């Protein structure tokens, strides 16, 4: 009986870990999409004359840092 409970506990821990990883992945994708949107808004504002090149560069730098840390999977879908 103890072996069964140990296996059940291990499977539950694995499922919990997989769930946490999925949540983190979704959060990273949302953050990446938000950074991409901010870059677009900064670029648009710059081109319309109400934004600055510095703001666009800062948004680009933040997006590149996110891609370095989490990959560019959010760009595909």
Distance CA 39, CA 30 (A): 14
For residue 18, what pLDDT is reported? 96
pLDDT in tens, 10-36: 999 999 999 999 999 999 999 999 999
Give me the residue spans of the domains in the chain: 8-71
For residue 5, what pLDDT is reported? 87
Closest residue by Cα to residue 28 from 60, 72, 77, 76? 72
Say whether 1 sits in a helix, a strand or coil: coil
Instruction: Retrieve residue 21's tokens.
Output: 């990883």
**What is the pTM for the complete model shown?**
0.80
**Which stretches of 1-77 are DSSP H helices?**
2-48, 53-70
pLDDT band at residue 58 using 50, 70 and 90 as cut-offs: very high
Enumerate residues 6+ apart whose C-beta is below 8 A from 69: none
């Amino acid at each position: 009986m103890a072996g069964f409970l140990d296996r059940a506990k291990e499977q539950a821990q694995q499922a919990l870990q997989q769930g946490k990883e999925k949540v983190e992945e979704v959060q990273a994708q949302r953050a990446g999409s938000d950074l991409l949107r901010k870059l677009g808004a900064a670029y648009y504002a710059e081109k319309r004359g109400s934004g600055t090149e510095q703001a666009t560069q800062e948004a680009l730098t933040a997006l590149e840092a996110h891609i370095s840390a989490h990959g560019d999977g959010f760009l595909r879908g």
